[in-house]
Amino acid sequence: MQFTTFGNISRAGSYLLFIDLRAPVRVSFGRFMGGMEFPLDRGCYLYVGSALGSGRGAFPLATRLLRHASRSGDRVPHSISGELLNHFRSMGFDPGRKASAKRLHWHIDYLLDPPEAEISQIVMVTEPSRLEHRLASLVASIPGTSPVADRLGAQDASSGTHLFKVADPADLLERLKIAIPMILSSQTPPTSPGHP
């Protein structure tokens, strides 16, 4: 299965993208580190992100993940995009009119755009709390993961990264299936005003 979901039914949440890089590439992540090119070997990479927007009728997780599964210009989208769209449609998502061409904006966009990169698996944490940095710390603590560069994909953090090279993606996925429910069970619901 290409999708694994944890959490409550929520239209917002965090996600982990497993990305297969089928051949070595050199990637400049926009203006990160002055536009420096990073040589990336073939293999599996993992990106941790979130989509926590709100608004009536908004479905930020669907919108963000479908954007990640597309490419700029007239490039062929990731093969997971059709199944991903059907998945979100089954949850009531209506993409409406066709989106305009994707413009590269976030660091991860630059890795997902070349044809050598394919999203192979998505882990969704459908919980509207901010868990992105906790999930990135979790991934960093698991043996067989190594950061591509400090603060890459995590410019809003003072340290850490959100993009990792993964030695054994199947092992990592199994470890995440155990650890993510533990993170979610440690979440305490916010108290309403006037209540302790």
Residue-wise DSSP of 141-158: HSTTEEESSTTTT-TTSS
Per-residue model confidence as pLDDT tens digits over 23-74:
999 999 988 888 899 999 999 999 999 998 766 557 999 999 999 999 999 9
Of the candidates 67, 68, 64, the residue with the CA atom closest to the CA atom of residue 12: 64
As a whole number of angstroms, the distance between CA 85 and CA 66 comes to: 7
pLDDT at 155 over 90: no
Does the CA dihedral 6-183-141-105 come out positive or negative?
positive
**Does the pLDDT of residue 189 top 60, yes or no?**
no
| Residue 157 pLDDT grade (very low, low, confident, very high; cuts 50, 70, 90) | low
Percent of the chain with pLDDT strictly greater than 90: 63
- Dihedral sign, CA of 26, 119, 183, 196? positive
Strand blocks (E) in the chain: 3-7, 13-21, 25-28, 37-40, 43-51, 117-126, 145-147, 163-166
Closest CA to 6 of 132, 147, 169, 127: 127
The backbone torsions φ and ψ at residue 170, rounded to the nearest 5 degrees and listed phi first, read -65, -45
Which residues does 66 contact at the CB level (< 8 Å), separation at least 6? 81, 84, 85, 88, 95
Q: What is the reported pLDDT for 186?
A: 84
Of residues 149 and 165, which shows the higher confidence score?
165
Question: For 136-162, what is the mean pLDDT?
Answer: 83
Q: Report pLDDT digits (tens) over 71-97.
A: 999 999 999 999 999 999 988 887 765
Alpha-carbon gap, residue 49 to 108, rounded angstroms = 9
Whole-prediction pTM value?
0.89
- According to DSSP, the β-strands at 3-7 and 117-126 are parallel
Q: Three-state SS for 47?
A: strand
